[in-house]
Amino acid sequence: MSDLNDSLKWELKKNPLFRELADGAFDNLLRAAQPRVYKARAAIFHEGDPGGSLLMVLSGQIKISGVTPNGKECVLAFMGPGDVIGEITLLDGGARTASAEAMEASRVLELTRNAFMSALQDSPPTALKIIEILCKRLRTTSQMVEDFTLLTAGPRLARTLLRLAESNGVDDEAGMLIDLPLSQSTLGAHAGLLRESVNRQLRAWEGEQVIQRANDRIVIVRKDVLVDLSEGGS
């Protein structure tokens, strides 16, 4: 594919999803791929839209969300460089099961279902990697449902911040920076809490020097406090 330079091909080949593909299958897959660019807050697709393609994030951050029966947004995941979106529709060809929105300027590579399924037929390890991704997402979703059901606001938000730090944390001089542009509304939709509850808890933790906030970023200063709270459930 002419738009993809050798450096980008090398980066893609490092991804576990593509690592086991033979060179011929890999090149055929890329020839059918299309790069896409999205501005911040642009909708990539909506729940229920026709599917049929897999998106690999090249840069930026993408929010995956659904809508609860009472009409509220539920943020399911945040996807960054190297992550893939749309693995369910890739396998069954059905409609999108969630919505995707660019949180900041983002670039993705769209891979068609037909080309990917053709590559999978010749690469069982790649098919197993897709299953592994699905299982990981299912485990995370199950944990979120359990948190929503069993935990009160403080422990639930503590677990959410720790989970985000594990997936999107970078070392900072003050502690662990969650490198995501998180509004309180988005964080609340991810933790299953009202914005007011999130604001109240963050202010309390900031006053206790458990966290720091700068613009739309959160730094975990005292991880041990959040761990104790998340495990205590009180």
Q: Is 45 in the same domain as 115?
A: yes
Q: Is 86 in the same domain as 202?
A: no
* Mean residue pLDDT across the chain: 87
Residue type, 95: A
Radius of gyration of the chain (CA): 19
Q: Is the model's pLDDT at 1 over the cut of 50?
A: no
**Shortest CA distance to 3 belongs to which of 26, 28, 33?**
33
CATH of the domain at 208: 1.10.10.10
Dump strand ranges (E) for the chain.
Answer: 34-38, 43-45, 53-59, 62-67, 73-79, 84-85, 99-102, 106-112, 169-172, 175-178, 211-214, 217-220
- If pLDDT is split at 50, 70 and 90, which confidence band does 14 have? confident
- Asked, for residue 59, whether it belongs to a domain, the answer is yes
Q: What's the predicted TM-score (pTM) here?
A: 0.83
Q: Is 11 in the same domain as 50?
A: yes
What's the rounded Cα separation, in Å, for the pair 231 and 234?
9
What's the rounded Cα separation, in Å, for the pair 126 and 124?
5
Phi, psi at residue 95, to the nearest 5°?
-70, 165
Contact 57, 121 (CB under 8 A): no
Amino acid 164: pLDDT: 94
Q: Is 34 in the same domain as 113?
A: yes
The boundaries of the domain holding residue 54 are 6-148
Q: Is 144 in the same domain as 201?
A: no
Angle at CA 124, nearest 5°, toward 129 and 109?
A: 50
Residue type, 50: P
- Asked, for residue 105, whether it belongs to a domain, the answer is yes
What is the per-residue pLDDT across 146-200, written as a single tens digit (0 to 9) for each? 777 778 889 999 999 999 999 899 998 889 999 999 999 999 999 999 999 999 9
CATH of the domain at 101: 2.60.120.10
Q: Is 139 in the same domain as 29?
A: yes
Q: Which two tokens stand for residue 73?
A: 């947004």
- Asked, for residue 1, whether it belongs to a domain, the answer is no
- Examine the fold and report which residue of 120, 148, 176 is the final residue of a domain before the chain moves on: 148
Q: Is 188 in the same domain as 143?
A: no
What is the per-residue pLDDT across 103-146, written as a single tens digit (0 to 9) for each? 999 999 998 888 888 887 877 888 788 888 888 888 888 888 87
- Examine the fold and report which residue of 148, 177, 196 is the final residue of a domain before the chain moves on: 148
Q: Is 121 in the same domain as 188?
A: no
What's the rounded Cα separation, in Å, for the pair 53 and 16?
18
What is the per-residue pLDDT across 85-99, written as a single tens digit (0 to 9) for each? 998 888 888 999 999
Q: Is the model's pLDDT at 27 over the cut of 90?
A: no
Q: Is 38 in the same domain as 134?
A: yes
Q: Is 84 in the same domain as 119?
A: yes
Q: Is 16 in the same domain as 92?
A: yes
State the total domains in the chain: 2
Q: Which two tokens stand for residue 138?
A: 């299912």
- If pLDDT is split at 50, 70 and 90, which confidence band does 13 have? confident
- Examine the fold and report which residue of 91, 119, 148 is the final residue of a domain before the chain moves on: 148
Q: Is 100 in the same domain as 23?
A: yes
Q: Is the model's pLDDT at 233 over the cut of 60?
A: no
- Asked, for residue 51, whether it belongs to a domain, the answer is yes
